[in-house]
């Protein structure tokens, strides 16, 4: 795991976008693991503005609410179309999300795992972090070896996401999500975290013990995980100076130091 601290949200998001752009250019058939949420909206705007060629790329999203049609503005399919897919030249037939309307969610989740495997696996997984430390909808006590499955959402998650609904009470209380084990199988992981409200949980995820109570701590086990944060989100990290040193001195980051 590497933690990269940038001065502000703009520079952190720009760095994440530039990393994604370079990966797409190096591998035109890149398999992307995608996330949703407020943190990702600015990132997707920047990626779309780069006019990259996504012709041969494919994608798999982390999660989807159960019981919401894809045309509903609160579905993650709608979100992805609005914030990324409609703005780039990706073939939507190659973009995948868990089927929140499936009659049998067990079969749907098994088929989703098979689709990921058939694609050759996810090359780079984008992540944010929830206020309870979850990645995807892997709420507290999610097994670190878990696979794509149905999960009940915590009151914390509901409180965080329900204001996005016209009627907050309409937010589903269950969702389909990639498992922690599924996420860890991605060849590379990039997590973007910004804002003071994420500082405490980020510190626990990065520098605390690995625990199923905070699914993001499992990222400590991944051999190629980069966590990009702004100064606000980095506020409670104990090793801030070391993380800054990494960006300023490690050769791999030299092309990005002007960001």
pLDDT in tens, 200-245: 999 999 999 999 999 999 999 999 999 999 999 999 999 999 999 9
Tell me the torsion sign for CA atoms 245, 232, 202, 183: negative
- The answer to whether residue 41 scores a pLDDT higher than 80 is yes
The b/e string for 108-137 (b: 16+ C-beta within 10 A; e otherwise) is bbeebbeebeebeebbbbbbbbbebbbbbb
Q: Rounded to whole angstroms, how far apart are CA atoms 21 and 30?
A: 11
pLDDT at 173 exceeding the cut of 90: yes
Q: What is the reported pLDDT for 259?
A: 52
Q: What value does the mean pLDDT take over residues 121-127?
A: 98
pLDDT of residue 59: 98
Q: What is the predicted pLDDT for the residue at 175?
A: 98
Q: How confident is the model at residue 258 (pLDDT cuts 50, 70, 90)?
A: confident
73-104 per-position pLDDT tens digit? 999 999 999 999 999 999 999 999 999 999 99
66-81: per-residue pLDDT in tens? Answer: 999 999 999 999 999 9
What's the pLDDT score for residue 246? 96
Q: How far apart are the first and last CA of the chain?
A: 21
What is the mean predicted confidence (pLDDT) over 141-162? 95
Domain boundaries, given as residue ranges, for the chain:
2-256
Give the whole-number percent of the chain exceeding pLDDT 70.
100
Q: Please say if the pLDDT value at position 196 is more than 70.
A: yes
Reference 215, options 206, 205, 202; nearest CA is: 205
Q: Encoding tokens for residue 129? A: 């972090």
pLDDT above 90 covers a percentage of the chain that reads 97
Record: fold of 2-256: Rossmann fold (3.40.50)
């Amino acid at each position: 795991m590497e933690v990269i601290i940038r001065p502000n949200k703009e520079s952190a998001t720009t760095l994440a976008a530039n990393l994604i752009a370079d990966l797409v250019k190096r591998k035109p058939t890149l398999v992307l693991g995608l996330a949703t949420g407020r943190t990702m909206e600015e990132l997707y705007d920047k990626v779309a503005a780069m006019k990259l060629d996504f012709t041969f790329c494919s994608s798999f999203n982390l999660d989807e609410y159960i019981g919401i049609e894809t045309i509903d503005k609160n579905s993650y399919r709608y979100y992805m179309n609005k914030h990324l897919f409609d703005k780039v030249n990706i073939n939507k037939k190659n973009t995948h999300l868990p089927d929140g309307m499936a009659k049998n969610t067990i079969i749907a989740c098994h088929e989703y795992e098979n689709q990921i495997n058939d694609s050759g696996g996810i090359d780079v997984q984008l992540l944010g972090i929830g206020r309870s430390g979850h990645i995807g909808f892997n709420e507290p006590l999610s097994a670190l070896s878990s696979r794509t499955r149905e999960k009940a959402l915590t009151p914390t998650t509901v409180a965080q996401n329900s204001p996005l609904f016209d009627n907050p009470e309409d937010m589903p209380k269950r969702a389909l999500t990639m498992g922690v084990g599924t996420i860890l199988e991605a060849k590379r992981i990039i997590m973007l975290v910004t804002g003071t409200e994420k500082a405490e949980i980020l510190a626990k995820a990065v520098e605390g013990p690995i625990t199923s109570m905070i699914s993001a701590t499992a990222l400590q086990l991944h051999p190629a995980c980069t966590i990009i944060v702004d100064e606000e989100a980095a506020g409670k990290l104990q090793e801030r100076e070391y993380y800054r040193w990494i960006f300023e001195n490690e050769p791999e980051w030299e092309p990005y130091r002007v960001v």
